[in-house]
Amino acid sequence: MIAEIGHFALILALAVAAFQTVVPLIGAERGNRQMIAAAVPATLIQLVLVYVAFAALTHAYLISDFSVRNVFENSHSAKPLLYKISGVWGNHEGSMLLWVFILASFGGAVAVFGDNLPPTLKARVLAVQGSIGFAFLLFIVVASNPFARLNPVPIEGNGLNPVLQDPALAFHPPFLYAGYVGLSVAFSFAIAALIDGKVDAAWARWVRPWTLAAWMFLTIGISMGSWWAYYELGWGGWWFWDPVENASFMPWLVATALLHSAIVVEKRNALKVWTVLLSILAFSLSLLGTFLVRSGVLTSVHAFAVDPARGIFILGILCFFIGGALTLFAWRAPALKAGGFFSPISREGGLVLNNLFLCAACASVLIGTLYPLALETVTGEKISVGPPYFNLTFGPIMLPLLLLVPIGALLSWKRADLFAVLQRLWIAAALAIGLGVLLLVATQRGPWLAPFGMALGAWLIFGSLADLANRIALFRAPIGTSWSRLVGLPRSSLGMTAAHAGLGLMIIGIIAITLWKVEHIVAMKPGERADVGVYAVQFVAETPLTGENYTGRAGQFRIFRGESEIATVVSEKREFKPMGTPTTEVGLHQTLAGDVYVVMGDKTADGARVVRLYFNPLVSLIWLGALIMFFGGALSLTDRRYRVGAPKRKLTPAGVPAE
């Protein structure tokens, strides 16, 4: 019964979404107040209906209702509660429902928090949101119903893929989707602005917080995925340039560009056409990501859909929204007035370069991901595009961008004095270069790229801090003055400093694990010791293991530094019910300086265990950096100008007072 309520709510939501798309759009065109005012209740009703559907499916998972096909195929009664919940979106139908759930939430947020938006703009934004909701609800209702029943009712379910039974992986899809789908708000604002024919500082100020929120979710979602890969897959890799990863990375790159270009629109009323285009592209890449992952074009665990009809449906949605948006852009963009001239050496100029490099980097990821598909379709020739390609294209493109970050952040608007900026950065530059030289001398035999990368990361960190120190007159004024200045700084500027420094930390972590990783693969018997880097690892014993829905073997390992024992870790090999699918749990001893990473492998012929030992220096900085970038975003989101609200536009004659 509850499943049927969910199904019915979805169909109602579809109808409401149609209303939400058509009525406010016509109302905004004709200046009809009632039709405009219909946008908000329609959005909220759609939200409630989608929530009901989502709750119904969650309920079916919680009570293990195997009469629902989706639950039968993806759940098992012995599964821990946590994975019963995450099972809701750990499959094709459920993940699409999560998609519209988040879309409806963002729509609702605009409806509720968008009080200061001009009513016509708000109506158009909500209408575009409604149209996206309509397309995906139609897809769910027609081709991907999560509430289909089974008769006769099976006694037990098939279980969730055991590699998905991990907290970080279970909860990274909601974050990723919140990022993907959050970009729909920027998209809707761009479409509304194109219909409206007006983009100004106020528009940018409304768009930016939504983009920032989406960017923050993407940042967390991507880093959770990579953190999971690092400790779960068991060979210490953290990023694989896998098409599914790329699908989430591309929107992140363009969203990052959009965040920066929206500042130019807001502060200087320039780059308007470009920013509108970026808003469209960012969400288009989200749609592309959804298509790549959900259509089965790339056959991986994430591509659950084997049915090509679904792929074609999503492709249709993709073509409609991207094609439609770009056509509208080509038609209406010339009407947007350009404004705000600036010299090439200025904050604006720096942000243009930022956008150029980020977009080129995104293009390298895009073409690297799609080229093998395209080439095979056109010529039948099969090639592979793997990590070496991305290292050779993405890497060199990011390099100048990273070098320019501290400089760009210090340039003044309109026209800047490059020499003065460099003067303010010389200490940071000297520290970074000093560190590089020191490392070069210390690691003569090591890869030369490593000291260079470390210096680059240090340059980003010191450069950001130098800017901050300058602003608060650190060491030049009494410490009390500096403190009150620090508190008085706009939070968006503190957020920028944090995000850029976080990026620097991340670079250091990436370079360290890539170039300084120590590996030791060895066959060990209980009691034996092996070295890895400055550490030694002793294989103590192995014991049988029984979990809630798996059995296996656990290996105990002692980690020594010199002669003193510093930690004990356990590496497990598990076999999951009901299929006996094997997984590995890594024994991980984490410190800021680096991780000792122990993986127990197979038995060899003479009864020893193959053990893979790694020392991954500074690797935590990758995720620490991502976390700091996230908090930088959060800090910026609480900036006074968003809390106080955007400056009111001049009231249009047809203006409706906000309620």
CA distance linking residue 555 with residue 539, whole number of Å = 7
**Least distance CB 344 / other proteins (angstroms):** 7
Q: Tell me if 186 sits within 8 A of 211, measured CB to CB.
A: yes
Encoded tokens for 243: 């098409």
Is residue 229 a contact residue for other proteins (CB under 8 A)? yes
**Distance (Å, whole) CA 648 – CA 261:** 22
Q: Find the helix packing angle between 39-62 and 2-30, rounded to 10°.
A: 160
4 residue type, one letter: E
Which listed residue (59, 414, 424, 649) binds other proteins by CB under 8 A?
414
Decide if residue 606 touches other proteins (CB under 8 A).
Answer: no
What track of x and - describes contact with other proteins for positions 148 through 187 (by CB under 8 A)? -------------x-x------------------------
334 binds other proteins (CB under 8 A): no
Identify the three-state secondary structure at position 303. Answer: coil
Residues forming a β-bridge with 451: none
What separation, in Å, do the N-terminal and C-terminal C-alpha atoms of the chain show? 39
Q: Using CB under 8 A, pick the residue from 601, 617, 632, 633 that binds other proteins.
A: 601
CB atoms within 10 A of CB 312: 11
Task: Output 491 or 574, the one with its CB closest to other proteins.
Answer: 574
Q: Which is nearer to other proteins, 556 or 571 (CB)?
A: 571
Nearest to 455 by CA among 514, 403, 390, 397: 403
Considering only 308, 316, 324, 386, the residue that binds other proteins (CB under 8 A) is 386
Smallest gap from Cβ 237 to other proteins, in A, equals: 7
The enclosing H or E element of 273 equals: helix 272-295
- 189 or 550, CB closer to other proteins? 550
Number of amino acids touching other proteins (CB under 8 A):
61
CB of 647 to other proteins, least distance (A): 21
C-alpha Rg value of the chain to the nearest Å: 27
The least distance separating other proteins from the CB of residue 235, rounded to whole angstroms, comes to 6
- In the complex with other proteins, the residue whose CB is nearer, 22 or 403, is 403
Assess 639 for contact with other proteins (CB under 8 A): no
Choosing from 51, 109, 345, 387, the residue that interacts with other proteins (CB under 8 A) is: 387
Please say which residue, 109 or 373, places its beta carbon nearer to other proteins.
Answer: 373
Distance of alpha carbon 128 from alpha carbon 116, whole angstroms: 19
Using CB under 8 A, which residues numbered 523 to 542 contact other proteins?
523
Is 222 a binding residue for other proteins by CB under 8 A? The answer is no
Tell me if 582 contacts other proteins by CB under 8 A. Answer: yes
Residue 26 and residue 195: Cα distance in Å, rounded? 12
The residue within the footprint of other proteins, chosen from 237, 490, 526, 547 (CB under 8 A), is: 237
The residue behind tokens 């536009």 is: 649
Element (H, E) at 206: helix 201-232
Q: Which of 133, 146, 159, 234 binds other proteins (CB under 8 A)?
A: 234
Pairwise CA distance, residues 436 & 1, whole Å: 66
CA dist 488 and 230 (Å) reads 40
CA–CA separation, 418 and 410 (whole Å): 9
Angle made by CA atoms 401, 406, 412, in degrees to the nearest 5: 105
Of 92-121, which residues contact other proteins (CB under 8 A)? none
CB of 302 to other proteins, least distance (A): 5
User: Which of 245, 467, 542, 595 lies at the binding interface for other proteins (CB under 8 A)?
Assistant: 245
Q: Does the protein bind other proteins through residue 242 (CB under 8 A)?
A: yes
**Environment class of residue 117 by beta-carbon count within 10 Å: exposed (0-12), middle (13-18) or buried (19+)?**
buried
Binding residues for other proteins (CB under 8 A): 161, 163, 229, 233-235, 237, 240, 242-245, 299-302, 341, 344, 352, 356-357, 359-361, 363-364, 367-368, 371, 375, 379, 381-389, 392-394, 397, 414-415, 521-523, 573, 580-584, 599, 601-602, 604, 610, 612
